[in-house]
C-alpha cells in the first residue's frame, strides 16, 4: 500500500473513534443562524426554547390548494386561519368570521370578518384575501377544493370586512367545509407568483413559492422546510388568538415513521408525539419506555371490507349477508389497539348523524349458513372463490384477510387472498370490470358528520374511486344522499343521514369491520388535549399547537 | 495520452448506455399500473384538474412523443416536474444528491480501509484463529442486510450507549455550512466551521458504517483470497529468500497485485451503495436521493423515477471508468494492453 495512504489510516480511525466517543453536546449557534435564532431556535442553541417535535409521514404539502392528507392538514391548521373553527362536538365556532347569516333560500352566505387580524408579514387580513383564497383554491382544484367545487358559484367582498358567497344550490355542508378554506395573504402570494405557469394571467398562482413558504395569519409560521427532512414552524407572537401558557415556541414536524427510529427518538426525548402509523408492536414497546404513554381516540375512520355488489356471488343479498354474519368481529377488534370497537352500520360512531339502531350482523356461523343456503349461488359457491384484496403497503391488513379466510372456510365459502400495491388497488377499483370481490380499506370522513362519508362510499359520482368498490349505482340512493347534503337544518339533515344508513345496512353492501382509533405515543410532559379526551374530530386539528402545553 | 483516449472512448460509450437506460426506464415507469396524474391530484380532484395535469406532463401523447419531449428537456438540464414535490426533479436531485453522495463516500472509505485491512490481516495469519475470526465476521457481514445493521447501530450507538446522533445530517438548531459542494463535512471544513464538521461527522458514522458493512465483509473475503493465492507463488518465496523485510513483501509485493479484484468490486459497491441506501436513509431520516427515488416509485412520480435512475446510472458509469483506471494503475499488463490499443 502507498505510504501516504497507509499513514492516513490511523488518522481516519482516530477521527471515527473520536466521533463515536465524543459526547453529544449542544452546538454553538453559527453566525448565519442569527435570523433563525432571533425567532427562537432549537434546544441546541437556546435551551429555553420549547420545541414540540412530532413525527409524520412524508410528503407534507403546505400549499392550501394542494395539501389534504394528515400531515398537510396538520401543517395548514397551524399556519393558516380559517373563517370558522371546528369544535369537539362536531360543530364550528366563529373564528376569522365573527358572525354570518344565510339568505332564506340558503344560497347566499354573508360573513362579517374580525378586524385587526395580521398576516405573518404584518399586513392586515381583509375580505379580498378571502375572495382570492377561494378563487385560487377553485382554480387549482386540488387539496380540499373538492369540498367547494360545484358548490360555490361566486364569491365577493362588498367591503373590507364582509365576504359574500353565492352557492349554486343549498348545501348543508358549506359552513363546516369552511374549516378547509385557509386564508392566504393575496399581496404576498402575488409578489411571489411566477409569470409562467398553467393558470393564465395568474402564472403559477404562487405554487412554487407556497411549496416551502407560508402566506398565512395562523399561530405558527414557516422557518425552514428542507425536502424530506422536517418542517420547522415558529410561534407568531402577533397572532390574534390565544396560546395556552406553555404552548411550544416552535413546532417541528419530522419526516420519520420508521418504528426503530421513532422508538429511539422517544427514548432519547427527541420526539414528543409519534405519528399515527406505528404498528401495534411498536406502540406496545413505546409504552414500556418511562414517561411515554399512548393516546388512542376515534378519528372518523372506518375499516371496511368493500364488497363488489355487481360481481357473482356478491350480487346476491343473501351471499353478502352470509359473509357479514360469518366474520368474527370480536377477534378482529382484539387484534387492534384497546379502545377499538366494531362498527355499527356504514359510518363510524364518532360522526354526527350516526345511526346506532341499524341492522347489524353479529358473528353467527349458523345464521351465515342459513343465509348462504338462500343465496342463488349456494350450490355452486365453490366455483366462485372470493378474491380478498389487501393493500400491500399496510401489512397489518393481512391478519384480517387470514381471519376472514378462516371464518369463511367454516361456512364453506372459498377465499383467495391477494396482496396488491396501492396504485394497483386505485387502478382496479376505478373500473367496474376490474374491481375485485373484496377490498379491505380504511376510509375517513372529511367532515365530522356522516353525509360526506356516505357520499364518498356509496354515491354513484364517487363509484370510480378507491373509496368504494361496491358499485351500487342506485339513483334513489344518490338522490337521498344529495337531498340530505342539501338540507340546512342540522337536525333534519342528521335524520336523513340516519335513514340512509338504515337502508344501506339492510343491503349489506360492505362488511363494516371496526371504527379505527388514532394512536400516538407521547411524552407525559406534553399536556395534550386529545390525550385528555378533548378530541376535535377533524383531521389535523388534534395537533393544533397553540392548545398543546409542554411541561418539561 | 493513452489514458485520455481511454476516457474519451468510455465517455462516448457511456452516452449510448445512458440513452438506452433512459429509454428502458421511461417505458417501464410509464407502463406501471396507476394513473400518475390521478395519484398526484388525489382521488377527489375533479377530472379537469387531472386532465390539465396530464396535458402539462404530455401524458396524453404517444409514448415515443413523450420520450422525445422528455429527452429534449433532459439534455437542457430540465428533468420535468415531480408530481409529489411539484418542483423540477433536477432541483430536487441537486438538493438531495450531495447527502447520499457524502454518505456513500464515507461508506466507500470504510469499505476500502476496513475491508482491505481485515483481508490483509486475515491472509497474513492464514488458517490461524485471527483468520478464522475475520472469516466468521465476514460471513456475518455478507449475509446481514444493511437495514439490519442500521437498526442495530441506531439502537446501540444512538439509544443504549447514546454516543451518536440518531436523526438527519446535523443536530437540531445547528445551521448547515454555506453550500459549496453540498457535502456538509467538506463545506464545514472549507468554511472553517469546525463544530459543524464535527457534528456532521458524528451524524454520518452510523449510517455510513451500516451501508458499508456488507461490502467490508466482501472486500475482506476477496482480499484475503487474492493474497492467499499470491502468497504461495514463487516470487514471494524468492523475495523472502533474498531477505526482503516481511513488511515490504506484504505491502509492496503481495498486497498491491492482490488488490485488483478488490478495487473492481469496490467501485461497483460504491455505486450500488448510492442506490441501495434507501432503507438506511429512511431509518436515519437522511434526506437523500435514494429514499427520494423509492418514494417516487411508490407514488408513480414518473419524472422523478427517470431522473433518479439516470443520475444513478451516471454514477455507475463514472465508478466503472475510475475502477478501470485504478486497475490499469495496479496491473502493468493492463496498461500495456491499453497502450497497444487493445
Task: List the one residue out of B139, B174, B250 whose CA is nearest residue A1.
Answer: B250
Would the CB atoms of A45 and B164 count as touching at under 8 Å?
no
Q: If DSSP codes are grouped into helix, strand and coil, which group holds residue A130? A: helix
A positions 253-282 inside 8 Å of B (CB): 254-256, 258, 260-261, 263-265, 267-268, 270
How much is the average pLDDT of B172-183? 92
CA separation for the pair B233, B126 (Å, rounded): 15
Whether B297 and chain A come into contact, CB under 8 Å, resolves to no
Q: If DSSP codes are grouped into helix, strand and coil, which group holds residue A342? A: strand
Q: For residue B173, give the chain A residue with the closest CA.
A: A42
Question: Could you tell me the strand order of the sheet in which A108-113 lies?
Answer: A97-102, A108-113, A162-167, A152-159
Whether A20 and chain B come into contact, CB under 8 Å, resolves to yes
Q: How many angstroms separate the CA of residue B184 from the nearest CA in chain A?
A: 14
- Residue A5: pLDDT above 50? no
How much is the average pLDDT of B107-118? 92
pLDDT digits (tens, 9 = 90+) for A228-261: 899 999 999 999 999 999 999 999 999 998 999 9
- pLDDT confidence bin for B336, thresholds 50/70/90: low
Q: How many angstroms separate the CA of residue A157 from the nearest CA in chain B?
A: 26
How much is the average pLDDT of B228-247? 86
Give the per-residue pLDDT at A345.
97
Would the CB atoms of B34 and A142 count as touching at under 8 Å?
no
What are the φ/ψ torsions at residue A388 (nearest 5 degrees)? -100, 110
Range(s) of chain A covered by CATH 3.10.105.10: 298-516
Whether A194 and chain B come into contact, CB under 8 Å, resolves to no
Contacts of A58 in chain B (CB under 8 A): 295
Q: If DSSP codes are grouped into helix, strand and coil, which group holds residue B66? A: helix
How many other CB atoms are found less than 10 A from the CB of residue A307? Answer: 26
Q: Which of A124-128, A441-445, B37-41, B240-244 has the lowest mean pLDDT?
A: B37-41
Q: Which of A165-179, A206-220, A362-376, B314-328 has the lowest mean pLDDT?
A: B314-328
Of all residues in chain A, the percent with pLDDT exceeding 90 is 77
Q: Which fold has domain A298-516?
A: Dipeptide-binding Protein; domain 3 (3.10.105)
Task: List the one residue out of A455, A472, A462, A466 whose CA is nearest residue A510.
Answer: A472
Whether A464 and chain B come into contact, CB under 8 Å, resolves to no
Q: If DSSP codes are grouped into helix, strand and coil, which group holds residue B36? A: helix
The shortest CB-CB distance from A265 to any of B45, B85, B167 is to B167
Q: Give the single-character DSSP code of A538.
A: S
The highest-level CATH class for domain A31-39+50-77+218-291+524-550 is: alpha beta
Cell 352557492 maps to which residue?
Answer: A167
CA separation for the pair B74, B63 (Å, rounded): 16
The shortest CB-CB distance from B49 to any of A36, A142, A466 is to A142
- Residue A523: pLDDT above 90? yes
Q: How many angstroms separate the CA of residue A34 from the nearest CA in chain B?
A: 10
Q: How many angstroms separate the CA of residue B99 from the nearest CA in chain A?
A: 12
Contacts of B280 in chain A (CB under 8 A): none
CA separation for the pair B92, B292 (Å, rounded): 9
How much is the average pLDDT of B307-313? 92
Tell me which of A68, A228, A232, A424 to substitute to probe the interface with B (most B C-beta atoms closer than 10 Å): A228
Would the CB atoms of B85 and A24 count as touching at under 8 Å?
no
- Residue A286: pLDDT above 50? yes
Task: List the one residue out of A156, A138, A136 whose CA is nearest residue A148.
Answer: A138
Q: For residue B208, give the chain A residue with the closest CA.
A: A16
Quote the cell numbers at residue A229. Answer: 427532512
Contacts of A29 in chain B (CB under 8 A): 173-175
What are the φ/ψ torsions at residue A118 (nearest 5 degrees)? -105, 140
Q: If DSSP codes are grouped into helix, strand and coil, which group holds residue A388? A: strand
- Residue B271: pLDDT above 80? yes
CA separation for the pair B324, B267 (Å, rounded): 9
Task: List the one residue out of A456, A445, A485, A541 whose CA is nearest residue A174.
Answer: A485
B positions 61-120 inside 8 Å of A (CB): 84-87, 92, 95-96, 109, 113, 116-117
Whether A286 and chain B come into contact, CB under 8 Å, resolves to no
Which CA distances in Å does B114 have to A448, A514, B78, B110, B213? Answer: 58, 53, 40, 6, 9
Q: Which of A175-189, A207-221, A365-379, B285-299 has the lowest mean pLDDT?
A: B285-299
Give the per-residue pLDDT at A9.
45
CA separation for the pair A91, A85 (Å, rounded): 8
Would the CB atoms of A24 and B205 count as touching at under 8 Å?
no
Whether B261 and chain A come into contact, CB under 8 Å, resolves to no
Q: Which of A212-221, A486-495, B119-128 has the lowest mean pLDDT?
A: B119-128
Range(s) of chain A covered by CATH 3.40.190.10: 31-39+50-77+218-291+524-550
Would the CB atoms of A30 and B193 count as touching at under 8 Å?
yes
Q: If DSSP codes are grouped into helix, strand and coil, which group holds residue A299? A: strand
Of all residues in chain A, the percent with pLDDT exceeding 70 is 91
Using DSSP bridges, classify how beta strands A250-254 and A220-224 pair: parallel, antiparallel or unpaired. Answer: unpaired
Phi-psi category of residue A74: left, alpha or beta, with phi > 0 → left and psi -120 to 50 → alpha: alpha
Contacts of B205 in chain A (CB under 8 A): 16, 19-20
Give the per-residue pLDDT at B12.
86
Contacts of A428 in chain B (CB under 8 A): 33
Quote the cell numbers at residue A308. Answer: 363488489
- CATH-assigned architecture of domain A81-191: Alpha-Beta Complex (3.90)
Contacts of A426 in chain B (CB under 8 A): 34-35, 38-39, 43
Of all residues in chain B, the percent with pLDDT exceeding 90 is 36
How many residue pairs bridge chain A and chain B with CB atoms within 8 Å of each other? 188
Contacts of A6 in chain B (CB under 8 A): 251
Whether A434 and chain B come into contact, CB under 8 Å, resolves to no
Give the per-residue pLDDT at A534.
92
Q: Note the Cα B239 to chain centre separation in Å.
A: 39
Tell me which of A264, A461, A539 to substitute to probe the interface with B (most B C-beta atoms closer than 10 Å): A264
Q: How many angstroms separate the CA of residue A350 from the nearest CA in chain B?
A: 23
CA separation for the pair A30, B78 (Å, rounded): 34
Question: Could you tell me the strand order of the sheet in which A438-444 lies?
Answer: A341-342, A510-523, A292-307, A438-444, A386-391, A415-420
B positions 316-335 inside 8 Å of A (CB): none
Q: How many angstroms separate the CA of residue B21 from the nearest CA in chain A?
A: 24
Chain-wide mean pLDDT for chain A? 90
Give the per-residue pLDDT at A8.
45
CA separation for the pair A346, B185 (Å, rounded): 56
pLDDT digits (tens, 9 = 90+) for A10-40: 444 444 444 444 434 333 333 333 333 333 3
Task: List the one residue out of B98, B157, B286 whose CA is nearest residue A258.
Answer: B286
CA separation for the pair B12, A545 (Å, rounded): 57
Q: Which fold has domain B99-290?
A: MetI-like fold (1.10.3720)
Give the per-residue pLDDT at A348.
94
Name A302's bridge partners: A443, A515
Whether A36 and chain B come into contact, CB under 8 Å, resolves to yes
What are the φ/ψ torsions at residue A530 (nearest 5 degrees)? -60, -35
- Residue A414: pLDDT above 60? yes
Give the per-residue pLDDT at B266.
87
Would the CB atoms of A426 and B158 count as touching at under 8 Å?
no
How many other CB atoms are found less than 10 A from the CB of residue B59? Answer: 17
Would the CB atoms of B173 and A263 count as touching at under 8 Å?
no
Answer whether B176's CB lies under 8 Å from B75's CB.
no
Give the per-residue pLDDT at B339.
55
Q: Give the single-character DSSP code of B140.
A: H
Q: Which of A142-146, A479-483, B58-62, B332-336 has the lowest mean pLDDT?
A: B332-336
- pLDDT confidence bin for B299, thresholds 50/70/90: confident
Task: List the one residue out of B104, B15, B2 whose CA is nearest residue B325.
Answer: B2
Whether A288 and chain B come into contact, CB under 8 Å, resolves to no
- Residue B38: pLDDT above 90? no
Whether B282 and chain A come into contact, CB under 8 Å, resolves to yes
Q: How many angstroms separate the CA of residue B14 from the nearest CA in chain A?
A: 31
Give the per-residue pLDDT at B338.
58
* A13 vs B104, higher pLDDT: B104
Answer whether A322's CB lies under 8 Å from A408's CB.
no
Rg (CA), chain A: 26
CA separation for the pair A187, A431 (Å, rounded): 44
Using DSSP bridges, classify how beta strands A549-550 and A526-527 pair: parallel, antiparallel or unpaired. Answer: antiparallel
Q: How many angstroms separate the CA of residue A402 from the nearest CA in chain B?
A: 25
Contacts of A497 (CB under 8 A, 6+ apart): A347, A353, A354, A355, A449, A450, A451, A454, A484
A positions 385-404 inside 8 Å of B (CB): 393
Contacts of B258 in chain A (CB under 8 A): none
A238, with CB counted inside 10 A (0-12, 13-18, 19+), is exposed
Torsion of the alpha carbons at A172, A174, A175 and A179, rounded to the nearest 10: 140
- pLDDT confidence bin for B275, thresholds 50/70/90: confident
Q: How many angstroms separate the CA of residue B317 from the nearest CA in chain A?
A: 25
- Residue A164: pLDDT above 90? yes
Contacts of B39 in chain A (CB under 8 A): 423, 426
B positions 144-203 inside 8 Å of A (CB): 151, 154-155, 157-159, 162-168, 171-175, 178, 193, 195-196, 198-199, 201-202
Cell 370522513 maps to which residue?
Answer: A445
pTM across the whole model: 0.85
How much is the average pLDDT of A315-327? 98
Q: How many angstroms separate the CA of residue B104 from the nearest CA in chain A?
A: 16
Amino acid at each position: 500500500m502507498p505510504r501516504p495512504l497507509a499513514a492516513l489510516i490511523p488518522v481516519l480511525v482516530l477521527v471515527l473513534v473520536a466521533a463515536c466517543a465524543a459526547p453529544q453536546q449542544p452546538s454553538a449557534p453559527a453566525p448565519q443562524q442569527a435570523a433563525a435564532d432571533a425567532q427562537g431556535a432549537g434546544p441546541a442553541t437556546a435551551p429555553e426554547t420549547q420545541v414540540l417535535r412530532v413525527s409524520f409521514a412524508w410528503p407534507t404539502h403546505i400549499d392550501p390548494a394542494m395539501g389534504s392528507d394528515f400531515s398537510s392538514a396538520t401543517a395548514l391548521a397551524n399556519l393558516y386561519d380559517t373563517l370558522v373553527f371546528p369544535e369537539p362536538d362536531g360543530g364550528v365556532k366563529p373564528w376569522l368570521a365573527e358572525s354570518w347569516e344565510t339568505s332564506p333560500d340558503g344560497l347566499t352566505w354573508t360573513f362579517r370578518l374580525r378586524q385587526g387580524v395580521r398576516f405573518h408579514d404584518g399586513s392586515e387580513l381583509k375580505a379580498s384575501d378571502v375572495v382570492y383564497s377561494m378563487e385560487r383554491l377553485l382554480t387549482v382544484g386540488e387539496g380540499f377544493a373538492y369540498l367547494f367545487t360545484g358548490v360555490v358559484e361566486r364569491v365577493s367582498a362588498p367591503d373590507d370586512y364582509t365576504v359574500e358567497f353565492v352557492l349554486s344550490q343549498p348545501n348543508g355542508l358549506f359552513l363546516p367545509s369552511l374549516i378547509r378554506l385557509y386564508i392566504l395573504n393575496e399581496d404576498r402570494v402575488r409578489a411571489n407568483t411566477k409569470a409562467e405557469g398553467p393558470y393564465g394571467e395568474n402564472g403559477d398562482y404562487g405554487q412554487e413559492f407556497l411549496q416551502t413558504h407560508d402566506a398565512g395569519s395562523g399561530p405558527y409560521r414557516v422557518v425552514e422546510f428542507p425536502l424530506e427532512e422536517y418542517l420547522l414552524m415558529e410561534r407568531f407572537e402577533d397572532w390574534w388568538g390565544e396560546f395556552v401558557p406553555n404552548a411550544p415556541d416552535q413546532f417541528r414536524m419530522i419526516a420519520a415513521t420508521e418504528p426503530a427510529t421513532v422508538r429511539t427518538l422517544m427514548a432519547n426525548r427527541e420526539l414528543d408525539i409519534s405519528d399515527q402509523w406505528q404498528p401495534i408492536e411498536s406502540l406496545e414497546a413505546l409504552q414500556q419506555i418511562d414517561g411515554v404513554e399512548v393516546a388512542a381516540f376515534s378519528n372518523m375512520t372506518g375499516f371496511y371490507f368493500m364488497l363488489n355488489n355487481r360481481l357473482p356471488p356478491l350480487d346476491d343479498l343473501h351471499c353478502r349477508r352470509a359473509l357479514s354474519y360469518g366474520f368474527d368481529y370480536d377477534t378482529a377488534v382484539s387484534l387492534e389497539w384497546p379502545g377499538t370497537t366494531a362498527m355499527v352500520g356504514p359510518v363510524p360512531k364518532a360522526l354526527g348523524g350516526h345511526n346506532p339502531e341499524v341492522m347489524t350482523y353479529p358473528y353467527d356461523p349458523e345464521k351465515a349458513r342459513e343465509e348462504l343456503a338462500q343465496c342463488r349461488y349456494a350450490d355452486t359457491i365453490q366455483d366462485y372463490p372470493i378474491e380478498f384484496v389487501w393493500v400491500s403497503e399496510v401489512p397489518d391488513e393481512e391478519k384480517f384477510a387470514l381471519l376472514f379466510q378462516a371464518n369463511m372456510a367454516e361456512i364453506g365459502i372459498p377465499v383467495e387472498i391477494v396482496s396488491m400495491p396501492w396504485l394497483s388497488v386505485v387502478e382496479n377499483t376505478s373500473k367496474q370490470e376490474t374491481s375485485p370481490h373484496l377490498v379491505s380499506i380504511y376510509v375517513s370522513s372529511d367532515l365530522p358528520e356522516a353525509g360526506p362519508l356516505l357520499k364518498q362510499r356509496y354515491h354513484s359520482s364517487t363509484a370510480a374511486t378507491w373509496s368504494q368498490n361496491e358499485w351500487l349505482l342506485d339513483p334513489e340512493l344518490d338522490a337521498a344522499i344529495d337531498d340530505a347534503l342539501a338540507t340546512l337544518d342540522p337536525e333534519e339533515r342528521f335524520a336523513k343521514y340516519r335513514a340512509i344508513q338504515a337502508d344501506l345496512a339492510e343491503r349489506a353492501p360492505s362488511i363494516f369491520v371496526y371504527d379505527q382509533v388514532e394512536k400516538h405515543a407521547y411524552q407525559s410532559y406534553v399536556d395534550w388535549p386529545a390525550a385528555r379526551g378533548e378530541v376535535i374530530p377533524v383531521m389535523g386539528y388534534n395537533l393544533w399547537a397553540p392548545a398543546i402545553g409542554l411541561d418539561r | 495520452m493513452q489514458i485520455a483516449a481511454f476516457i474519451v472512448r468510455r465517455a462516448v460509450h457511456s452516452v449510448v448506455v445512458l440513452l438506452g437506460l433512459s429509454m428502458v426506464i421511461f417505458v417501464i415507469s410509464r407502463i406501471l399500473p396507476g394513473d400518475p396524474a390521478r395519484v398526484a391530484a388525489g382521488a377527489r380532484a375533479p377530472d379537469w384538474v387531472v386532465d390539465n395535469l396530464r396535458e402539462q406532463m404530455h401524458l396524453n401523447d404517444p409514448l415515443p412523443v413523450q420520450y422525445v419531449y422528455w429527452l429534449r428537456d433532459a439534455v437542457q438540464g430540465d428533468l420535468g416536474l415531480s408530481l409529489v414535490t411539484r418542483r423540477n426533479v433536477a432541483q430536487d436531485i441537486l438538493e438531495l444528491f450531495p447527502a447520499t453522495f457524502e454518505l456513500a463516500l464515507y461508506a466507500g472509505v470504510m469499505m476500502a480501509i476496513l475491508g482491505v485491512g481485515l483481508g490483509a490481516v486475515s491472509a497474513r495469519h492464514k488458517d490461524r484463529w485471527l483468520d478464522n475470526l475475520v472469516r466468521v465476521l465476514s460471513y456475518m457481514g455478507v449475509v446481514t442486510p444493511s437495514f439490519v445493521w442500521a437498526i442495530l447501530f441506531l439502537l446501540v450507538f444512538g439509544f443504549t450507549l447514546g454516543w451518536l446522533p440518531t436523526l438527519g445530517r446535523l443536530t437540531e438548531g445547528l445551521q448547515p455550512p454555506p453550500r459549496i459542494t453540498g457535502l456538509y463535512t467538506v463545506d464545514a471544513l472549507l468554511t472553517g466551521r469546525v463544530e459543524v464538521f464535527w457534528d456532521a461527522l458524528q451524524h454520518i458514522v452510523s449510517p455510513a458504517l451500516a451501508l458499508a458493512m456488507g461490502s467490508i465483509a466482501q472486500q475482506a473475503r476477496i482480499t484475503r483470497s487474492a493474497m492467499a493465492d499470491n502468497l504461495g507463488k514463487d516470487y514471494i518465496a524468492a523475495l523472502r529468500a533474498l531477505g526482503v523485510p516481511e513488511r515490504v513483501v506484504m505491502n509492496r509485493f503481495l498486497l498491491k497485485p492482490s488488490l485488483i479484484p478488490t478495487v473492481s468490486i469496490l467501485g461497483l459497491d460504491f455505486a450500488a451503495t448510492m442506490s441501495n441506501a434507501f432503507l438506511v436513509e429512511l431509518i436515519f431520516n437522511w434526506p437523500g436521493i435514494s429514499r427520494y427515488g423509492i418514494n417516487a416509485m411508490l407514488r408513480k412520480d414518473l419524472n422523478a423515477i427517470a431522473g433518479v435512475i439516470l443520475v444513478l446510472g451516471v454514477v455507475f458509469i463514472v465508478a466503472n471508468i475510475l475502477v478501470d483506471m485504478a486497475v490499469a494503475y495496479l496491473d502493468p499488463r493492463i496498461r500495456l494492453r491499453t497502450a497497444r490499443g487493445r
